[in-house]
Structure 1
């Protein structure tokens, strides 16, 4: 397996497929998953001739289960370590959920020439937590509940999230896909409980307002209007207003996990944006 070692000595696992001289697309996964969550996109885009790169966030998947650094600044620094090691230039960075926050933090600070475009899918910016500036956010008690459920029985908590609101399998008329649930659970249980516990604070309490304002590359914001994990009104609809070159695409009835269960639609629109 392939790894990059960060400045603070953390081994970050990554996948790097396709021609090394092709335009890179870098995928950033959500909590508490891994690079495997992008299987449908990695396969699609490598077959389109792109170079595709996806890493496991520190403490997630196959990356080192370290005790510290589970915050957005470290996440973005780890991305930079991968980008620098592979010398990725003119890349498109695509982030889902927590990975969308990671994209915002990294792209806002990226060195010139490294980033061509960005995509935020069901992403957490500008901030998930209810604050004075963002009164439409979720109360802290919601995230305290996540932490309590994780600490009490992580395995059951992950099963419940994946089989219910994440993919909208709790909606009437939506057919559940047990293998998709199993794959979500598998990825979650590969990672470290400490990293996932700390990561709840990172994805819920980080304010990305200034990051979004600083991004100066074309940015596509994609969000399902039935996203039960990251409600669209408090995220995408606000984030696009802060972006200099933002475009919002709303998917009626789509869930938080639309990149998996609606991969055909999402991949088509991603390709159009990247080529456009």
Structure 2
């Protein structure tokens, strides 16, 4: 079922809650500039295996409200906390992909990992996000030709072949976001980082990263593995930036085994 959670006055985030009576809970945090729908191929499988799967759309993205401000790691982590509190979540796994991984890292350090028993970081934009040159390129496109920007994102995302129909679906998912929030998160990825947050994480963590990732290099996964003491690094050898789709059977099995 889907519903909205108020995270601050005038701002409501969309939440998809699948199999609410499941015995184990997984909270999924999507990447930029997508939505909870990117995890469709987890939501198709894991609830049937007894898991409660919760997908949220960040402010500014997907079906959530799109305020003009609030696009910082602190505020986005605060939004996660608001959802955790509203749904009274405890003893849950937190899965963050790309920028969602960086948001998850900030949540873990800012709130001492409240309620989280297992952390899964998937091709995380950590410790840093975009270089200045990459950010400036995407920012120019976001403010002048956002469909072209989203097409470039789609074309660089995957290592394995994706059909034209799949790419169209993925492309339109990114265009559900507001232009201003898309641009604001590019600036976030350029100007902020989660370098100082990593050593504060003590929760059992697995780091999943495609070795062919052209968005966030695999070397960054190695770096966060070194800094999160209780972590395992699991390379995905046939994936780019999207192992949740490119190697979805392995990814889903890994989640079930870990959680």
Q: Is the 8 A contact 2:142 2:183 kept in 1?
A: yes
1:209 to 175, 191, 195: 195
> 1:268 corresponds to which residue?
253
> 2:210 corresponds to which residue?
224
TM-score, normalised on structure 2? 0.94
Measured after TM superposition, the shift of residue 72 of structure 1 is: 0.9
Aligned-partner SS, 2:175? helix
1:249 to 234, 237, 240: 234
Alignment map for 1:124-143 (pairs within 5 Å):
124-129=125-130, 138=131, 140-143=132-135
> 1:134 corresponds to which residue?
none
1:157 to 123, 142, 149: 149
For 2:201 and 2:169, how far apart are their aligned partners in 1? 33
1:167 to 148, 158, 165: 158
For 1:8 and 1:243, how far apart are their aligned partners in 2? 35
Query: Does residue 244 of structure 2 align to residue 259 of structure 1?
Result: yes
Alignment map for 1:182-201 (pairs within 5 Å):
182-201=168-187
> 2:139 corresponds to which residue?
147
Measured after TM superposition, the shift of residue 186 of structure 1 is: 1.4
Could you list the per-position Cα deviations for residues 84-125 of structure 1 after superposition, in whole angstroms to 9, with x for gaps in the alignment? Answer: 110010110001100100110112233676110100001011
Give the count of matched residue pairs: 258
> 1:58 corresponds to which residue?
59
> 1:82 corresponds to which residue?
83
For 1:181 and 1:41, how far apart are their aligned partners in 2? 18
Q: Is the 8 A contact 1:19 1:49 kept in 2?
A: no
For 1:78 and 1:182, how far apart are their aligned partners in 2? 29
Q: Is the 8 A contact 1:124 1:204 kept in 2?
A: no
Measured after TM superposition, the shift of residue 34 of structure 1 is: 0.4
Could you list the per-position Cα deviations for residues 179-218 of structure 1 after superposition, in whole angstroms to 9, with x for gaps in the alignment? Answer: 2211211111111010010001223432212221111100
Q: Which runs of 5+ in 2 are unaligned?
A: none
Aligned-partner SS, 1:190? coil
Measured after TM superposition, the shift of residue 43 of structure 1 is: 2.1
> 1:122 corresponds to which residue?
123
TM-score, normalised on structure 1? 0.89
For 2:4 and 2:190, how far apart are their aligned partners in 1? 28
Measured after TM superposition, the shift of residue 242 of structure 1 is: 0.8
> 1:237 corresponds to which residue?
222
Worse-matched range after superposition: 19-28 or 193-202: 19-28
Aligned-partner SS, 2:145? helix
Aligned-partner SS, 1:117? strand
For 2:217 and 2:22, how far apart are their aligned partners in 1? 38
Q: Which runs of 5+ in 1 are unaligned?
A: 130-137, 169-173
Provide the alpha-carbon RMSD of the alignment: 1.5
